[in-house]
Every structure is written in structure tokens, then in C-alpha cells.
Amino acid sequence: MPRSPAGKICIVIGEANPAQWEEAILKARPEANYLELRLDCLKVSDLTASNFKKWVRLAEVPVIATLRRKANGGQFIGSEAEQVEILKVALEANVAFLDVEIETIENYLHGELALLKKAPTRLIVSYHNFEETPVSLESIYQRLLQVRPDVLKVATLAHSFSDNFRLLELIEKTRQQNLSIISVAMGELGVYSRIVAPSRGALLTYGSMGNSQATAPGQLSAHDLRLVYALDEINEQTRFYGVIGYPVGHSLSPQIHNAAFRERGLNARYLPLAIQDLQDFGPHLKRFAGFSITIPHKVAILSYVDRLDSTVKMTGAANTLVRQGDDLWAYNTDVYGIRYALRKPLEEGIHQTTLLGAGGAARSAAIVLKESHCQVTVLGRDREKTRRFASEFGFDYDSLSQAPKYRGELLINATPLGMSPGTEQTPLQEHAIHYRWVFDMVYNPLETRLMRQSKGKALVISGLEMFVAQAAKQFELWTGLEPPRDLMRKIALEKLNASNRSAS
């Protein structure tokens, strides 16, 4: 007998042959509360009664069997009649659930479910739309209700962030009617619904075995759902934070901030929010307690906030939002991060500094250098942009190509040169490094080419120091608590080391 689910994570099995299928079931079993078997990924000749019984026995958790037709986003090219006959074989194996498209039930079964009803199996009737979230979800909801399923399922592609909330409203509706539902906004914009839906009453949410094995757009790994987001502990009192940017798929921030929230015993979650259109997301900003802001929205976000901290007024950009009452405050914690990373050279006393770059990162560095009364020369590729930037702070300037002729106590790389995947790039060759301190703001890879070249010639400061410090300041602004800096740094190191190993 399958064990009863203690959580709400369903891993989808979609391998191409029975041997891989069984290996995947065994691998998924420890992470899963449910397993969905995508029968359409196998040959019809593999879909035998003996195989079904073996898979149910191997699973040890409730099994959902589905044979998704090509017209409904699957791979099965047979007729509806053939689909129903195969599902009847699965039914005899006592799977916990059959998932059948509403189209098959309406077109072939004419709304009658008797052929697919057999205790203890429960019937999921599903509606999928891989193109949009229709304007009228109510009509789809009523269409599913009409055939009286055990569980309703609505999975649609989100084109607007508001589609998450429209699908969550369906969960509330079924809760009031004492019904079960699976409600999913697919795509990058739908990640919020995948994480939040179970806490609102959805039967389950779908996860993949790994980040590269998603079976639907926007699907997170079961590992991340369970360990990074602690899905089963989310409730209606959970406060939500997130990183707004595009892309955000490789951001370290969810791992770092969620671990920090747990360490401090906070009922809070930090989500990746892949937002391209700020205007679409703007109306939902105050549903959250705070945000990290990354490329490309650090300047544009200022049109959506109520108050600006002095760091934002100085830099003209924000990387942090904090909701205080009805107001959204904007901060730039990069300034704090740079100040922390440079604490030792600044304490020692820095006079002559070379700053490489004239963009947003360089601006935050320039503020710290200006308040420390350093003599600074800014080197950039675009001479006119560099001149304007330098004159704003009263600094000297020159072309980046002239970097080898400069020397001093501190070199700061505020360009992306050396950042993954361009790890062999460097803004300065080894023979031209004549500084006591070298600070590379790039943190991925952990050791850039510039850092390697500087070893033995200078004291090296990693961009990781700035990254962790600015994240710690964000945590402090959001919560008013002392951030667990050592833990945040440890997790960032682990993730970057893992990323660097997989890239090598």
C-alpha cells in the first residue's frame, strides 16, 4: 500500500523507456509526496497491466496516471477511444488518481465518467492551456464542475503576473464548496502560484527531479520546493519577498535569504520573480513585504516607490525595496556592500585609487571613495561617458586602454570583465598590476582571472564580500534583525563552488 502523503509535492516521471522509468521512480520516491506517471512518454506496448502494478508498487506514494494527448500538450497520438482503454488498464492497477482531459470526457465519454470510476482511484479532470490564461476562468471552472470529478485541475500559461492571483482565487472558490483542486500558472511568471497554491488549499504542486528536467514551463525542482522554499511550512501568515529582474534563474538570492529567514525563525519566503514588464507587475508590489531589484529594473523601479533613501538619491538607482506601512521605500545596499568590502584598506588609509568602469556598480564605488576623500582616476571605454561620470564626483578620468600606466594603493574593477561565462577576460594584464589592494566586484567565478593575476602582488578582495554584505543589509532593512552573515556567506560559497564545478 502506498504511504499517505505528508506534503504536497508531486514529481513528474516522463522518461522514455521502462528501465529509465523505474530508475526515475526510485530516485524520485524520497523527495515526492505524489508521483505523476506521464504514460504518453512511453510506447503503447509498454503500457501493460503488469507494468502498471509494478510502478504503483515501486512508487510507495500515491500515483497519478495520465496519458496526455498531443492536442493537450502531451505525446500520445492515438485516438480518445485508445486513450480511455489504456487508462482503464491503469485503473485496474489501483493507481491513486487518473488525470483525464476535459476534452476527452466531453468529446468521447459525453460527460459520463462511469468507465473511469473505480474505487479507490480518484478522478482528476483537467483543463490545460499552453498559450494563455483565458479571460473567463469561471466558465472553465463551471465546465469542469459539470462532470462532477473528484479533483479539478486548471493549468494555464501566465502572460501577466495577475494570472497567479486569478488561479489562486479558484482555490478559494473550491475550498468554500468543499472541493479539491490543482491550480497552476505555468511559465516564468507563474512561479508564485506554484509555491503559494498548496498553502491556499491546492491538492499539490508539481516539481521536477532537477532544474533541467522540468516537464512544464516554470516548474521548479522538488528539491528546491522542499529545501529552499520549505513548501509544506508556508501558511496564510507567511510574508513574501522576492528578487525582481530578468533573467533571475541563476540568482543566488533565494537560497541565501530563505536560509537566513529560517535561521532567524521567521515565517517568510523569498521568491524568484522573472519580471520583464514592470508596468504589469507594478500593481502587485505592495502585496509583498520587500524586494531585491536587479538588472534591468534598478532605475525604472523608482517610478513605483513612495520614498527614496539617501543611497538612492546619490546613486540614482535602487536594489532594495522595503514596505513600511502603506509606503514602499527604495534603498541601494550596494553602497553598504562596497563600504564593507573596502573596510580594511579604508581603515589603513587610501589615497590613490584607480576605478575601472563608469556604470551603476562604479557609481556605488565612487560614493564610498568620495566620502573617504580618495584621489581617484576613473577609466572607461566610452571616453565621453567616463568624463561626465568623473566630473560628477570631481575625479580624474582616462581611457580604459590606458590602465597599464596607472598605479596606486587600490584598484577596483567595476566592469563585468571576467564574469562567467567570460572567465578568461581581464581588464588588466599581470605586468600592469601595481597596487597594494585589488578589489574585483565580480563574484562569479569566485576567483577571477584578475584575482589570480594579482595574487602575490597585491592583497585581493573578492566580489563575494560585497555581494554577501549588501544581501545582509537587505535582510536587516526588511526584518530589523541582525543578519546571519556567516551562514549567508557559507551558502553563497557552496552555490558558487557547485556552479563553478558544473561549468568546468
Residues 141-170 as b/e (b if ≥16 CB within 10 A, e otherwise) read beebeebebbbbbbbbbbbbbbbbebbbeb
Q: Helices 334-341 & 360-371, crossing angle to 10 degrees?
A: 60
Alpha carbon distance 310, 194 (integer Å): 37
Say if CB 192 and CB 273 are below 8 A apart.
yes
Residue 450 three-state SS: helix
Report the residue count for the chain: 504
Angstrom distance (rounded) from CA 384 to CA 388: 6
What is the sign of the dihedral through the CA atoms of 376, 380, 383 and 384?
Answer: negative
Neighbouring-strand partners of residue 123: 98
Q: Minimal CA–CA distance to 355: which of 343, 346, 368, 344? A: 368
DSSP secondary structure code for residue 288 in this structure: S
What is the pairing mode between strands 151-157 and 180-186? parallel
Catalytic residue at 455? no
Q: Angle of helix 463-479 relative to helix 253-263, nearest 10 degrees?
A: 50
Q: In what order do the strands lie in the sheet with 239-245?
A: 268-274, 239-245, 290-293, 320-324, 327-331, 307-308
Catalytic residue among 153, 298, 313, 473: 298
Which positions are catalytic?
Answer: 298
